[in-house]
Amino acid sequence: MNYGIGEASRATGIKVPTIRYYEGVGLLSPPTRSEGKQRRYQPADIARLNFIRHARDLGFEIGDIRELLTLSTRPDQSCDQVDVITRRHLSDVERRIAQLSALRVELLRMVNECTHGRIYECRVIESIQEAGGA
Amino acid sequence: MNYGIGEASRATGIKVPTIRYYEGVGLLSPPTRSEGKQRRYQPADIARLNFIRHARDLGFEIGDIRELLTLSTRPDQSCDQVDVITRRHLSDVERRIAQLSALRVELLRMVNECTHGRIYECRVIESIQEAGGA
DNA sequence: GTACAACCTCTAGCGACTAGAGGTTCAAGG
DNA sequence: CCTTGAACCTCTAGTCGCTAGAGGTTGTAC
């Protein structure tokens, strides 16, 4: 049994154009084609797409996923590299959380100072004019 | 006194090509030019650029900044719209923090389960294969 | 007058898709 | 067998907020 691209899409939750995009950037090798040159996917392709989707859900970028996919096909190698990629991504996520949290504090301060008057006395506008965050 | 684009850049911390970009997207109206058609900025332009920079530092997107700039030139209007824009941005920031925090928990769980063995028993790879976050 | 930094415009690239045009193939029903 | 229409195909361009580079011009200091 094989899948058309639409079935693959429904099976994985990845949109049809995105599947083609993944093929284009080399995450997925070109599948076999029907006589009329339409893509036909095998269960292994579906598994690979699911892997990609889960990794994207976890925020890994395409380059990392490419590497993780390669590593996952070398079961005997040490998983150190997997660990490195994951930790690097984790610290990236933590850095972004920190940045956004600082922003949040600043924005909260601004909206809390708002007295709902006229623009000329608007504390939000003043905050942006005077200094700004980060 | 007026400023060349390089001076404007140093005065505001916005890179030269970015200043031209802001002009292109209509955040900044085209300045006067020298005889040789080079841009000459006035102090009011510098103030506007500083406003833009601070707003960008606070994470506002270009469209929002355009609106905030327009509003800031209408001192008699109510600042309700400013409040709306700011609160909308704030909740966007909070949404992103929540997403990233969930991601962080998942990634932490994954790296903590890592036993530094071989790929075939790698818990990180397994996590991605099995389910994935979000 | 000449050197050279600073400026100019224009195009293309980043990441990860998404949208649309314009054409072809597949599967089901008559 | 034939037609309908959904699903498929390729290709290009757009999103966002810049950034980089090519190739040419202007401003300023000596």
- pLDDT, tens only, B62-93: 999 999 999 999 999 999 999 999 999 999 99
Task: DSSP letter for A29, please.
Answer: P
Indicate whether B35 and B82 sit together in one domain. no
User: Which helix (DSSP H) or strand (DSSP E) does residue A93 occupy?
Assistant: helix A80-113
Indicate whether A69 and A91 sit together in one domain. no
Indicate whether B3 and B68 sit together in one domain. yes
Closest-CA distance of chain B to residue A71, Å: 7
Q: Residue B39: helix, strand or coil by DSSP?
A: strand
Mean pLDDT confidence for B37-65: 97
Mean pLDDT confidence for B34-55: 96
Task: Indicate whether A134 pLDDT > 60.
Answer: no
CATH code (residue A68): 1.10.1660.10
Indicate whether A6 and A69 sit together in one domain. yes
Q: What percent of chain B has pLDDT over 90?
A: 90
Looking at per-residue pLDDT, the higher value among B116 and A66 belongs to: A66
Integer Cα distance of B106 and B111 in angstroms = 9
User: How far: B90 CA to D4 C1' (Å)?
Assistant: 51
Task: Indicate whether A132 pLDDT > 70.
Answer: no
Burial of A92 (0-12, 13-18, 19+ CB in 10 A): middle
Nearest-CA residue to the C1' of C9?
A: B20
Least confident range of A95-99, A126-130, B98-102: A126-130
Indicate whether A58 and A12 sit together in one domain. yes
Q: What is the pLDDT of residue A131?
A: 66
Range of the domain at A104: 78-134
Indicate whether B65 and B92 sit together in one domain. no
Q: What percent of chain A has pLDDT over 70?
A: 97
- pLDDT, tens only, B19-30: 999 999 999 999
Task: Indicate whether B134 pLDDT > 60.
Answer: no
Point out the domain boundary residue: B50, B75, B100: B75
Point out the domain boundary residue: A75, A95, A120: A75
Contact B100 A101 (CB under 8 A): no
Looking up tokens 């506007």, which residue turns up?
A: B48
Q: B38: Cβ under 7 Å from strand C?
A: yes
Indicate whether B3 and B62 sit together in one domain. yes
**Mean predicted lDDT score pLDDT of chain B:** 93
Mean pLDDT confidence for B53-61: 96
Q: How confident is the model at residue A133 (pLDDT cuts 50, 70, 90)?
A: very low
Indicate whether B71 and B8 sit together in one domain. yes
Integer Cα distance of B30 and B20 in angstroms = 9
Q: What is the pLDDT of residue A115?
A: 87
Burial of A58 (0-12, 13-18, 19+ CB in 10 A): buried
Indicate whether B61 and B98 sit together in one domain. no
Mean pLDDT confidence for A77-92: 94
Residue B55: phi, psi to the nearest 5? -65, -40
Nearest chain B residue (CA) to A78:
B118
Looking at per-residue pLDDT, the higher value among A133 and B126 belongs to: B126
Indicate whether B83 and B68 sit together in one domain. no
Contact between residue B86 and residue A124 where contact means Cβ atoms under 8 Å apart: yes
Q: How confident is the model at residue A50 (pLDDT cuts 50, 70, 90)?
A: very high
Q: What is the pLDDT of residue B132?
A: 46
Q: What is the pLDDT of residue A114?
A: 87
Indicate whether B63 and B83 sit together in one domain. no
Indicate whether A134 and A114 sit together in one domain. yes
Task: Indicate whether A4 pLDDT > 80.
Answer: yes
Point out the domain boundary residue: B57, B75, B93: B75
Q: What is the pLDDT of residue B133?
A: 42
User: How many domains does chain B fold into?
Assistant: 2
